[in-house]
Amino acid sequence: MRFPGQSPVAMTSAQRAALMQTVLDRPSSAVRVTGLSALSLYGLPVAPPDAAFDRALGHRPADRAHDYAKMLSTVHLSWSGQRMRTPARNVFVSKSYGLDRFPGPWGARLADPVEALVVAAPYLSRWRLTACLDTLVSRSIRQQDGHDMYQYDRALIRQRLGQLPPTSPRVHRVTTALADVAENTWSPRETLTRLLVMAHDLPTPVMNFRVVLDGTDRYLDLAWPHAKVAVEYNGADHTDRRLYGDELFRRQRLEDSGWKIRFLVLEDLLNPARRALWLEWLATELTP
């Protein structure tokens, strides 16, 4: 996009999708942004499939994992009613399943997030679908007018899926991912850590368990309160000395109160040997 007298403004495919929807929309077609484009605009945690994590979790790879980058850079729109066509390049148009539309950026209309997730299902790992659903049930999506969309929960998501073709492999894939959802999950790495725990037949954790410590609420990423055991995923790079010191103090105070905590970084999830070590530690701590 270029404004008079200015250099071109780089836009993401999701931003282009939002603007194109406003141009191409017609009452007879009810055009909406869908797929990866819509999920990105909703702020759901889409990312490229990772075969190593699929293997670690025992999940079948995404059917079209190799097309993820292409679809992420493609504007994806859908229509309901009169068929929509466009000569624009890098635009993929499909028929909508007909669920509701919701307000998006710049006055655009987005497909229902459950419909958008079903459309994107062939390009995403199963655990990533669960991470998107975790996000959907754990926070409200803010609309451009400042209001929250109504809160999604498992029952509403099942109801939405029930309106879609029951024999569709895409619908089945999202339904399978929904079985692993946990409320109060605040990041995709928390989702992945929980699923690795469950894949090794360990007890299901409580997500972001609240502990009152020194008069302040603290939240443990994955906790087993009955055993006072927790696993914390640490995504910070610790370039801030003060924040690092605060984190060490927090850990010490939790241990002073009887909690046993294992702190993880990305390499502990990626590296099979390191992953085996913390899972073995967890199994030992949770053994009666």
* One pLDDT digit (tens) per residue for the chain, 288 residues: 443 444 455 788 889 999 999 988 988 889 999 999 999 999 999 999 999 999 999 999 999 999 999 999 999 999 998 887 776 778 899 999 999 999 888 889 999 999 999 999 999 999 999 999 999 999 877 665 556 666 899 999 999 999 999 999 999 999 999 999 999 999 999 999 999 999 999 999 999 999 998 888 999 999 999 999 999 998 764 445 566 677 788 888 898 899 999 999 999 999 999 999 999 999 999 998
Helix (H) or strand (E) holding 222, with range, is strand 216-224
Of 143, 240, 133, 243, give the one whose Cα is nearest residue 185. Answer: 133
pLDDT in tens, 88-139: 778 899 999 999 999 888 889 999 999 999 999 999 999 999 999 999 999 8
CATH superfamily of the 189-286 domain: VSR Endonuclease (3.40.960.10)
Four-CA torsion 286, 284, 126, 178, nearest 10 degrees: -10
What is the three-class DSSP state of 1? coil
Q: Distance between alpha carbon 40 and the CA centroid of its chain, in Å?
A: 10
Q: Are strands 91-95 and 216-224 parallel, antiparallel or unpaired?
A: unpaired
**In this structure, what are the phi and psi dihedrals at residue 148, rounded to the nearest 5 degrees?**
-85, 140
Contact 159, 203 (CB under 8 A): no
Question: Three-state DSSP class for 207?
Answer: strand
**What is the enclosing helix (H) or strand (E) of 285?**
helix 272-286
How many residues are recorded in the chain?
A: 288
Distance CA 117, CA 126 (A): 11
pTM of the model: 0.91
- Encoded tokens for 43: 């702020």
Q: In 56-196, which ranges are E strands?
A: 75-79, 91-95, 101-103, 109-111
- What is the DSSP-derived secondary structure letter of residue 271? -
Q: Where in the chain is the domain with CATH 3.40.960.10?
A: 189-286
203 vs 262: CA distance, rounded Å: 16
CB atoms within 10 A of CB 18: 25
Q: Could you tell me which of 108, 107, 146, 115 has the C-alpha nearest to residue 132?
A: 115
Q: Are 161 and 177 in contact (CB under 8 A)?
A: no
**Other beta carbons within 10 Å of 23:** 10
**Furthest-apart CA atoms within the chain: distance in Å:** 71
Q: Estimate the share of the chain in helix, then strand, then coil, as percent rounded to the nearest 5.
A: 45, 15, 40
CB-CB contact of 40 with 104 (8 Å): no
